[in-house]
Structure 1
């Protein structure tokens, strides 16, 4: 069953061994991202899910406080849940900005411009 978070601007699609997190409705607010991260950790504990795909909105630029939070919060979350695969879906430089903030040695990370490519990549690894 897919996790449901009506109070947050996300849509989560549970694919058994991984979850696709559609963040396109997120407006870039750091406090909202912190709450999203809390739900993410809850959904990945216990460590049943080996992967996750995060789809970022096109109009939110990852910089400053958001970039700092991803660097710290997402790295801690990856380690806490024993995540093995992480796919980022975002526009060119946006994808690189997020990808460069992740420093979790046990996680295989890849960035994509297209959700379908990310799902194909994850399906090859996580199932």
Structure 2
């Protein structure tokens, strides 16, 4: 039996791609595998993530990226600024990023946060690590 529970799956005006947030134990798991890296589209996604990550009992966060995400300069600057601030506001202990290749490493390298950060190739390994907090 899975401990994960879906808490949001959104595709609305202003968000032209599917994304989801699930709770697995004490971790919010964000699926951004359909995101292409356009930062103008992220306000609703980031707001929903913060709502879930700020809940009592949540101590970690995992974000999974797909092969189609473009991590250009504008995207990396946005992530460094916005995601760093939201991670601090959420008051979580661990952050994990999942992707094939170096995309997860590129995102983690640009965050300026007090939380422990790790990158993974496996979603299940990332969730297990984040739940150890």
TM surpasses 0.5: yes
Q: Which runs of 4+ in 1 moved over 6 A?
A: none
TM-score (norm 1): 0.87
Structure 2: unaligned runs, 5 residues or longer: none
Aligned residue runs from structure 1 range 45-56, under 5 A: 45-56=54-65
The corresponding residue for 2:93 is 84
Structure 2 CA distance for partners of 1:47 and 1:77, relative to 1, 3 Å: farther
Spell out, residue by residue over 1:88-110, the C-alpha distance to the aligned partner (whole angstroms, 9 max, x if none).
001222122101111102x0100
- Size of the aligned set, in residue pairs, is 124
Task: Work out the CA distance in 2 between the residues paired with 1:33 and 1:56.
Answer: 14
Spell out, residue by residue over 1:59-87, the C-alpha distance to the aligned partner (whole angstroms, 9 max, x if none).
21212111011100011001111111000
Question: Which of 19, 33, 36 is residue 24 of structure 1 equivalent to?
Answer: 33
Which structure has more strand as a fraction of its residues? 2
Task: Work out the CA distance in 1 between the residues paired with 2:68 and 2:34.
Answer: 10
The corresponding residue for 1:109 is 117
The corresponding residue for 2:126 is 118
Which structure has more helix as a fraction of its residues? 1
- State the shift of 1:31 in Å: 1.7
The corresponding residue for 1:15 is 24
RMSD over aligned Cα atoms:
1.6
